[in-house]
Structures are given as C-alpha cells and as structure tokens.
Structure 1
Amino acid sequence: MSGTIDTSKSINLQPSDRLRSQQPLPSNELADFIQETLALTKRLFIQLQRRPSTLVAGVIQPLMWLILFGALFQNAPQGMMGNDLSYGQFLGAGLIVFTAFVGALNAGLPVMFDREFGFLNRLLVAPLASRYSIVAASAIYIVALSFIQTAAIIGVNALMGAGLPSLAGLGVIALIILLLVLGVTALSLGLTFALPGHIELIAVIFVVNLPLLFASTALAPLTFMPGWLQTVASLNPLTYAIEPIRYLYNHSQWDLSSIVLQAPWGTVSFGTSLAILLGFAALTLTAIQPLLKRRLA
C-alpha cells in the first residue's frame, strides 16, 4: 500500500542513533581524575565528620605519650640525650613521625571495609576516568590527618618548652611527613588488596606497629642501643624521618650537608635522609602498581 510506512529500517537504526547521542563529549582526563579524587576524598571527610572520635583519639594519643613519657623521664640527667636536650625535647620528633606512621599504616582499613561491604565493587563498575582516584583519595585523606596531628604535637611540644623550628624548618617537616606517609600508605593499600579481610590487615598492623617504633630512634638515641639493634634501626625508614626533624629542633642553622645521624655504616647527612625517604616512597608506590592493576581491573 502506498500509505504504508516501512519502519524496519528506522527500528534498526534507532538504537545506534540513540547510543551515539548519549556518548559523552571528549573531556580532559586529568580534570576528570581530579574531580573524581576530590569527590572520593570528600566522602572520606564526611565519614570523619560523622565519626569525629577517630580524629580526636588520633590527636589525644600522641599528646598523652608526649606528656607521660616527658614526665616519666623528667629527672633524667641533663644532656643524657646529647646536646643538653631534655627528654621531652628529644621525644617530640619521634612522636611526630610515629603518629604519622601509624595513621598511614591504617590507611587501608577504610578501603578494606568498602571492599567487604561491596562499595568498592560499585566504584569499580562506575565509569571512572581512572580507578587510581580511589588510591589518590585515600592518600590525600591520610596526609591531611597526619598534618593535623603533626600541628597538634608541635604546638603542645612548644608549650612544654621544646621551642619551634623556623618557618623553613616547619616546611621541611611537612615534606618529611609527606614522603613517609606516601610510602607507608602505599604499603597499607598493597596489604589491603593482598590480604583476604580486615582481620588479617589489623593483625599485620598490630604486629608491625610497636616493633618498628622500638627499632627506631624515636625513644632512644642510636648510641644507647646494642650493636645489632643499631643496625636494624639504621635500616628503618622511621629513623631517617625522625633524625632530620630532631636536628631542626636542635639547630637554627642547617643545610643539606648537615650530619643528622651516625649510622653503623657511616654518617648520614640531611640531604641523604631526604633522598632515602624519597626513594622509599617511590619504591613502595612502584612495587604496588602490578597488584593495583590486577585488583582494580
């Protein structure tokens, strides 16, 4: 019939036309990655806002260590720690680094819970520009918390008579904390995707936590340790974060060639410590790449 309309051709063409009309326009992938990272970071801070006890406990605990340990050794002979330092002044740098280390070591727990509750699967099937935004958001969140805790420790330590480093020194402390947190956060996220559940991750955190504290120069100088422990402490990344910060507290004049540590294998300069921390962060971030590619695929 002349009035009959052949719709078979239009029916065959409509789905493809509809799909083409819904295709997103080309966009800047970097801008999309930043937007996704900021959105996921905002989610983590919303969770923190709903459970502020996490931040409060993270700030109060190192302050209690600082006050109680400082009081415990307040009658120690002046200069026992070298350079006429009180134990409170000596301990401050160790607590700054150890607090940042503990926070970064726990970085994988929110991702692990997202994985167990199924939210991570929803992210993995979402049209993200890059699934590495999940990792970047966790790193930004932990770095921000570490800076808050560090500021609290520095402030209380100053009120207790330890003084304040110079403005440039505070910037270097922030850089040291950033490098350490990035490296340890990478390790924590690697464990998150390698271990079967949060029980195993918490067990690893408990096993690693205190031994690394005592096998560093956070609580005692290297010269107080037996030979074998000096060797272990000189291989501990925490030591190379603690000693430059301690040097900044004790010396108003410093540069990259300043000697901050006398290790069993030789002297360590300020610049060498920063290079070791940079290498540690780069190594861990590189080491977890194959695992992340498999798990985020």
Structure 2
Amino acid sequence: MTTTIDPKTSNASAPSRAELLATPGIASGEFVQETLALTRRLFIQLKRRPTTLIAGIIQPLMWLVLFGALFQNVPEGLFGTSQSYGQFLCAGVIVFTAFSGALNAGLPVMFDREFGFLNRLLVAPLASRFSIVLASAIFITTLSLIQTVAIVITSVFLGAGLPGAAGLAVVALIVLMLVLGVTALSLGLSFALPGHIELLAVIFVTNLPLLFASTALVPLAFMPTWLQFVSSLNPLSFAIEPIRYLYLHSDWTFASIVMDAPWGSVSLGGALLLLAGFDAIALVSIQRLLYRRLS
C-alpha cells in the first residue's frame, strides 16, 4: 500500500525558510544571555591583559597629583570658590578620564573586524546582533565607573572633599550620560572607518583639543571670549561644571547655576538636559549606520 503526499499539506506543515532563520528579539532571555557572554569575553581579555585598566587608573591619578602640586601655591580665590587647585581639577580629571575611555570604546570592535571575529558573530544565530554593541557599551561603562571611584577616593586624600550620597549619585549619573554619548559615537566610527589606524587618528586628534577647549583645567573667566563660547558649547564642560559644583556646594538643587556661559546661565538640571540631548543626537546619528552594518 502506497501513501501519497499532498504537496499542499506538506508545505503547510513544514516551516518556511524565514521561520527557520527567525531569532528571538531584544526582549528575550537569549538576548540577555548572549550580551552577558560577549561582555564576559571582554572582561576575560582584560583579565589576561590588565594593562589597559591599570594605565587607565594610574594616568588620571598622576594628573590629579602632579597638576594639583604644580598649582598649589596660586593665590586663594583664583579658581573661584575652590580651596585648592586640586579640588578645582578633580571634576575635570573625572570627566576627561571617562571621556577618554569612552572614546576608545570602538577599538575592540574594530580589532574584531580586522581579525575576522566580527564576521563569525554576524553569521551566528544571535537573538540580536545589537548585543555586540551593547556588550561593548557595558564593558566601557564599567571601566569608567571603576576609574571614577579611584579618582574620587584619591581626591579625598588630597583634600578635595567628597559630595554627599545624593551628590555622588548625580556625579555617577553625569559620568554615565557622557560615557553613553561618546561610546555611541566611538562605536559608530568603528563601523564607519576602514581600520584601526584611522580610528586611532580620530582619537588622537579629538582628545586633547576637547580637553583644552573645556573648563577642565581653568575656569571660563580665564579664557578669551572666542574660547569661552567654544568651551561653553563643549559637552565636556556640561559634565565638568555640575560635578565641580557638587564638590563645592552641599546645598545644591537642580535649579542651581553651575556655569555662567557667554550666551546665558546653565543650571544643574539644564546641564543634565543638555547631556541627554547630546546622547540623543549621538544615538540617532549612528542608528542607521548600525542597522546597515549589522543587518
């Protein structure tokens, strides 16, 4: 006895190619699992070669100690209400360290591209390929928080003081917001540029000019008028000035004026909104690029 197979019935019961290739979405447990696995891979690399973390902690501490000692004999009140230049410099070192680390966020992805590992991930049945980007963001954010904690602890011993618990929470929020935007731009560059040489060139060209065009080392009043406009539009200044204010004032509120820019006064809440706007612009600007590269 022979059995005949109806092609219509067979095709209806068999899964289509699209169904076979379908993968869980971002809200799935698989996405969380693979993001944690990719993040763990980055930390294993860091554990095997901890030089990056060690240098990332030692360098800002050297800035804090050496620059603080260099200007320790300046007249009192020269740097606003700061008791010492070390106290004034602390906010700048925190922000610039987080910025530098976030600017390097695209390097691991770039090296994965060049060594072919990224291609293997792109053909793997991932729940979402955006776990690759998210893992890098989590890794860089964690390193930035570790560096920030080291700087804050060292600054206490150098006499810079310490904000209250609420102030420290706002400091952490500011650092996270800055890291988010800069990390997004760095990851976008890692997919847009042809190789790590070009990415390193962008990092080197961007790093120091943004530092000197901010209020990290001197207040706005020390700068010529044109540089005051540039510095007051620099995202680093929107992070530095609120943190500096939190160190110097225990009675802060979100309405407190943290920066008197040439174009107007900026409150603590306004600085947070400006940083949020910077993050939104950075994320929107790389969205299409990531969809194209990861699709």
| TM-score with structure 1 setting the length | 0.92
268, 272, 281: which is aligned to 1:283? 281
Tell whether 2:294 aligns with 1:296.
yes
Question: Unaligned 5+ residue runs, structure 2?
Answer: none
User: Secondary structure at 2:159's aligned position in 1?
Assistant: helix
Superposition pairs for residues 121-160 of structure 1, below 5 Å?
121-160=119-158
User: Secondary structure at 1:255's aligned position in 2?
Assistant: coil
Match of 2:218 in 1: 220
Question: What number of residue pairs does the alignment pair up?
Answer: 290
Q: Percent identity?
A: 68
Match of 1:181 in 2: 179
Supply the distance in 2 between the matched residues of 1:18 and 1:48 (Cα, whole angstroms): 46
Supply the distance in 1 between the matched residues of 2:136 and 2:73 (Cα, whole angstroms): 42
Paired amino acid for 2:232: S
Match of 2:266 in 1: 268
Supply the distance in 1 between the matched residues of 2:25 and 2:118 (Cα, whole angstroms): 25
253, 256, 278: which is aligned to 1:255? 253
Paired amino acid for 1:260: V
1:224, CA displacement in angstroms?
A: 0.2
CA spacing shift, 1:166–1:117, aligned 2, 3 Å: same
Supply the distance in 2 between the matched residues of 1:60 and 1:105 (Cα, whole angstroms): 18
RMSD: 2.3
CA spacing shift, 1:206–1:27, aligned 2, 3 Å: closer
Q: Is the 8 A contact 2:145 2:172 kept in 1?
A: yes
Supply the distance in 2 between the matched residues of 1:185 and 1:25 (Cα, whole angstroms): 29
User: Secondary structure at 1:161's aligned position in 2?
Assistant: coil
Supply the distance in 1 between the matched residues of 2:194 and 2:22 (Cα, whole angstroms): 39
Tell whether 2:63 aligns with 1:65.
yes
CA spacing shift, 1:154–1:288, aligned 2, 3 Å: same
Tell whether 2:49 aligns with 1:51.
yes
Q: Name the larger-Rg structure.
A: 1
CA spacing shift, 1:203–1:18, aligned 2, 3 Å: same
Match of 1:40 in 2: 38
Paired amino acid for 1:201: L
Q: Is the 8 A contact 2:24 2:31 kept in 1?
A: no
72, 84, 97: which is aligned to 1:99? 97
Paired amino acid for 1:237: P
1:125, CA displacement in angstroms?
A: 0.7
| TM-score with structure 2 setting the length | 0.93
Give CA deviations for 1:116-154 in whole Å, capped at 9, x if unaligned: 000000111111111111111111111000000000000
Give CA deviations for 1:258-286 in whole Å, capped at 9, x if unaligned: 00000000110000000000110111011
Question: Unaligned 5+ residue runs, structure 1?
Answer: none
Tell whether 2:206 aligns with 1:243.
no
Supply the distance in 1 between the matched residues of 2:25 and 2:202 (Cα, whole angstroms): 40
CA spacing shift, 1:29–1:153, aligned 2, 3 Å: closer
1:85, CA displacement in angstroms?
A: 2.4
Write out the 4+ residue segments of structure 1 that deviate beyond 2 Å after TM superposition.
Answer: 16-20, 22-29
Supply the distance in 2 between the matched residues of 1:231 and 1:105 (Cα, whole angstroms): 23
